[in-house]
Amino acid sequence: MRDERRATLTDVATRAGVSKSLVSLVMRDEPGASPETRRRVLDAAAALGYHPDSRARLLRSGRSRLLGVVFGIQHPFHADLVTGLYSAARETGYELALSAVTPERDESEAIRGLLQDRCEALILLGPESRTAALTRLAERLPVVVLARSVRGPDLDVIRTADATGLALAVDHLVALGHRRIAHIDGGRAPGAADRRRGYRQAMHRHGFDAEIRIVPGGLTEEDGARAAEALLGDLPTAVTVFNDRCATGVLDVFNRNGIQVPGTVSVVGYDDSSLARLAHINLTTIAQDVPAMTRQALARAIARLEDTPITARESIVPPHLVIRGTSAPPS
């Protein structure tokens, strides 16, 4: 069974008693074949279990219609973005080729794989590569950077207004009556600098310069746990955290130490990842607009490929606050 050669276009043509060209047209849903022929071809194809060979197709047409996506497999928010990208790719005529960054497979390797697959454009999720490397890459093919802020001549960037996001968090907490608000940051992670700045500016705007307190954090639960421990000696009444994953580490340490959330300390995360939505976490957080971001990323990549004129290289998507159970007035 497995050894039967796959059916080819020629097989279908023979069986349907027409030329290859006609079969080609029909398979691509192009006009130019009579309804009668169309039906015959379709029948023959079905009977033979024919599936077009994308490689040959692409080889001939000189295009792959493949968009490469580089993502961090350990990163929950990237999972959300990939989910969005798949949805956005529907009906565009382009396919996604995934390439994961793992602890043992770095970004350049992930990118190399996609280039070899002849992807026409690349979408990079929170890439760690240096700006110079990204710029060089963008000389070869369109590159869309998602969820990281970079400036490069040929780079398209779709990102959240991260500073605004943190301002929303601080404003929310201030509105609740907080003023001793700390920030657990993301270190050198993409977006961390902007979020730090947003926090600082918002605190300043409210006249709480004296309360500004930035604790070194990171992107993982572990980083959050460590940061929370550092906070234990001198608790603020509220904490904004770099991301949801880090925030769960914070919550965990607070729980273990009998610190009520939001009773004693309020916690606000960032990303609105699936983590935050879990009933027992129920984290107040800043939501990045994943559908908008992924739709735009795809649209941008395709526009570059099809030479559609584009004005802005950078697109900044506004975030919004999602109030859940970890924020309340100070006691």
Contact positions toward DNA, by CB under 7 A?
Answer: 5-6, 8-10, 17-22, 24-25, 27-28, 31-34, 36-37, 50, 52-53, 56-57, 59-62
In this structure, what token pair is assigned to residue 90?
């529907």
Give the shortest CB-32-to-DNA separation in angstroms.
4
Task: Decide: is 219 part of the binding site for its own copies (CB under 8 A).
Answer: no
Residue span binding its own copies (CB under 8 A) among the ranges 157-165, 222-230, 292-300, 311-319: 222-230
Residue span binding its own copies (CB under 8 A) among the ranges 38-46, 92-100, 126-134, 234-242: 92-100
Q: Looking only at residues 98 through 127 of this chain, which bind its own copies when binding is defined by CB under 8 A? A: 98-100, 102-105, 113, 115-118
- Cα–Cα distance list, 113 to 120, 212, 281 (Å): 13, 45, 38
Amino acid present at 103: P
Q: Looking only at residues 32 through 71 of this chain, which bind its own copies when binding is defined by CB under 8 A? A: 51-56, 58-59, 64
Instruction: Give whichever of 116 and 311 is closer to DNA, judged by the CB atom.
Output: 116
Give the shortest CB-102-to-its own copies separation in angstroms.
4
Instruction: Give whichever of 142 and 191 is closer to its own copies, judged by the CB atom.
Output: 142
Burial class (CB in 10 A: 0-12, 13-18, 19+), 279: exposed
Q: Helices then strands (H, E): number in the chain? A: 13, 12
Of its own copies, DNA, none, which one sits near residue 34, judging by CB under 5 to 8 A according to partner kind? DNA
Of DNA, its own copies, none, which one sits near residue 113, judging by CB under 5 to 8 A according to partner kind? its own copies
Nearest residue to 43 via CA among 19, 13, 8? 13
Distance, in Å, from the CA atom of 39 to the CA atom of 36, rounded to the nearest integer, reads 5
Q: Which long-range contacts (CB under 8 A, 24 or more apart) does 175-179 make?
A: 176/238, 176/266, 176/327, 176/328, 176/329, 176/330, 177/329, 177/330, 178/237, 178/238, 178/266, 178/329, 178/330, 179/206, 179/208, 179/211, 179/237
3-state SS class at 105 = strand
Which residue stretches of 177-289 are H helix? 192-205, 221-232, 244-256, 274-277
Of its own copies, DNA, none, which one sits near residue 9, judging by CB under 5 to 8 A according to partner kind? DNA
Neighbours of 116 (CB within 10 A): 8
Rounded (to 5) percent helix, strand, coil in the chain: 45, 20, 35
Contact residue for its own copies among 220, 235, 289, 315 (CB under 8 A): 220
Of DNA, its own copies, none, which one sits near residue 252, judging by CB under 5 to 8 A according to partner kind? its own copies
Residue span binding its own copies (CB under 8 A) among the ranges 21-29, 175-183, 253-261, 308-316: 253-261
Instruction: Give whichever of 19 and 102 is closer to its own copies, judged by the CB atom.
Output: 102
Give the shortest CB-37-to-DNA separation in angstroms.
3
Nearest residue to 182 via CA among 148, 144, 134, 216? 216
Q: Looking only at residues 156 through 215 of this chain, which bind its own copies when binding is defined by CB under 8 A? A: none
Residue numbers at the binding site for its own copies (CB under 8 A): 1-2, 51-56, 58-59, 64, 73-74, 76, 79, 82-83, 86-87, 95, 97-100, 102-105, 113, 115-118, 139-142, 154, 220-222, 225-226, 249, 252-253, 255-256, 258, 274-275, 278-281
